[in-house]
A and B are shown apart, each in its own frame.
Chain A
Amino acid sequence: MSDSAQIVIDRVSHLYRPPRGREVLALEDVSLRVTSREFVALLGPSGCGKSTLLYLIGGFFPTEIGSILIDGQPVGGPGPDRGIVFQHFALFPWKTVRGNILYGLERQGMERGEREKRVQDFIELVGLAGFEDSYPSQLSGGMKQRTAIARTLAIDPKILLMDEPFGALDAQTRHLMQSELLSIWQRTPKTVIFVTHDVQEAVYLADRVAVMSARPGRIKTIVDTKFDKNDPNIFKAKAFVDKVDEIWNLVRVEAIKAQETRPS
């Protein structure tokens, strides 16, 4: 695994400086290696710095302590090799579904005919045919997130960064989107870093789950969670349920700690 690692996070710490007040150590000494086409979940209580770690990989914050390498190169700014999907969709509200998906392709300088075709392909992939000309304000939460996923996948990033992408959806929609994400991922394998605080979601989707501790965020353990994702009864399988329990116990301790150390 050491040589084939696509993302190498090496002893990264991060100080968060709020506009007012004292700086906070959001991440401390985090190391993680992710191989190409692996699906890794970052799991932890809110405020554990898991999103911060994702933003560092995305290049939205500079890495000041430690290093993050992607294919051997240090992360600079944001770029189209790392697509990102946010919890609140981050669609351009002034663009239609088609316009949102087109945007990245235009920035890539893709030729018109080709990008029109590609947009249509991805609209169909995520099941939004018939809604091409709707604005985000006219869509349900699930449809917004499908648009956001299509927009990110359309530019074909090597790495997919997902920041609690299903956290704002209702339970049924979330369930549906999880299995859709898996089936898309199986068809077009990419490296995925998936931030969540939902244990079952992490175990279901990921190959490995990195459990993070609260304040300052550290990686506490990494648990293997490879299951047969195509098994329709996976949620009832004993091995799956035990794994969820095991990880839930690890997270619970951290969640309680996070409550106690939350700054008032």
Chain B
Amino acid sequence: MLLVTSVPFDMIEQLPAIQLLLTLLAAPICSMLRNGDLSWRIATAASWASAACAFAILHQVWGGGSISYEMGGWPPPWGIEVVIDELTAIILLLVTLFGALVMTALRQSLTSIMRHQRQSLYYTTFLLCMASLIGITITGDAFNVFVFLEISSLATYTLIARGRDRRALTAAFRYLIMGTIGATFILIAIGFMYMLTGTLNMADLAERLPQHHDNKVLHASFAFFTIGIAIKFAMFPMHYWLPNAYTYAPKATTAFLAATATKVSLYVMIRFIFDVYGVEFAFGQMQLGTLLVPLSIAGILVASLTAVFQTDAKRLLAWSSVAQLGYMTLGLALLNVNGLTAAIAHMFNHAMMKAGLFLAVATMIYRTQTSSLASLSGIGRTMPWTTAAFAILGIGLIGVPFTAGFISKWYLITGALDKDWLPVAILLIVSSLMAIAYIGKMLDVMYFKPAPAEFAEVKEGPMSMLIPCWAFALLTIYFGIDTRLTAGLAERIASSLLGGS
């Protein structure tokens, strides 16, 4: 990698901090600038730079390495430790790369809904959200996870509340209430663990917790944590906040939230289960599987079916997200290499496809100003490039071969069959058919329904939005063929997570 070799050596060691600081420092700069365009340039540069850092970091840990970095030179457990392994690196890449792509498209998307000066504040919030997601991902300190989780939630509430529709306010408020409950639960869980062990460092926790496995306090801590984080990543039936939040969040923002926020929360769950509580405790003693498997399957089926009957493009995709999150938790609950590979690879693949889909819809909305399916009819003729990107991404979501979605689905069903869970495999196939139904419904409307008169003359989307859309679409195809970065890496991560137990 050219980048890595051309930077001085000690800079490589500082990469984790640099990456976090890039976005964290760009945020206040944007807020002071009061100039939309300039802020956008800074924000975009910062997010691409941190995506480059993510690449460099991934390159460093590629093949099973790990980086430990002491923030400010304070050794743990007094200071905050940053721990990066392959799982961390792939999530980092997910957050920064997809974040940067959305950021690139964001300027055009925002011009129609907010005044110039206000935009710089919006970029500030966006950057803060991204910085906190990076923080959650890299930190090796349990309390730090909570802190960054709170920052990201607060930033997200703000982002959603800026939606043009008044209903965005209630959606944000609803999310605020649910999110606060979730965060409080997580805080209680961490507090209990601190009470038992006297440490907040995740590695130390993992060492000291086993002797408390029969302690009711630890059981309570685990219960609080599971429910709290489940609310955060909208696991069925705690997904109540998600459809509205995604529907009313302004424009391209939804693409960013759908790609990153829930995935990072899910990452936290995987981290805590495997590296803090221990898989033996979580799945053996606490029977997490009995909770996850039925809820995941119910979520997949109910949410897919709900998606089929939606009449708003964004809401439909939001429901599909709830279903797709079910795939990930199911893969996790399968607790074998193929299942876990599917879960991790699908976090990346789904983030990519769903961000692309929401971005394509945002591009259409940029021209039509509304996201109801009826107003998008016939858009395949007026905006052929946007719609073609949408079609590729949609086909990926269904899981057609040569797309990323196929790879995740393949591993997931193989994982179910490895367990001899034939009914589960069949239900997964059924849910794929539902995906055909809801994506097919959208494509049918876009390509074959005659366009409503007022939108008969809309133009193709602006280049700055089209290019990111197509980047997502082409990546979807690329990762359907070359899977070293997704499934290949995920398989290594899965074996090491399971091997350690």
The reply to whether chain A is a binding partner of chain B is: no
A contact set with B: CB distance below 8 Å: none
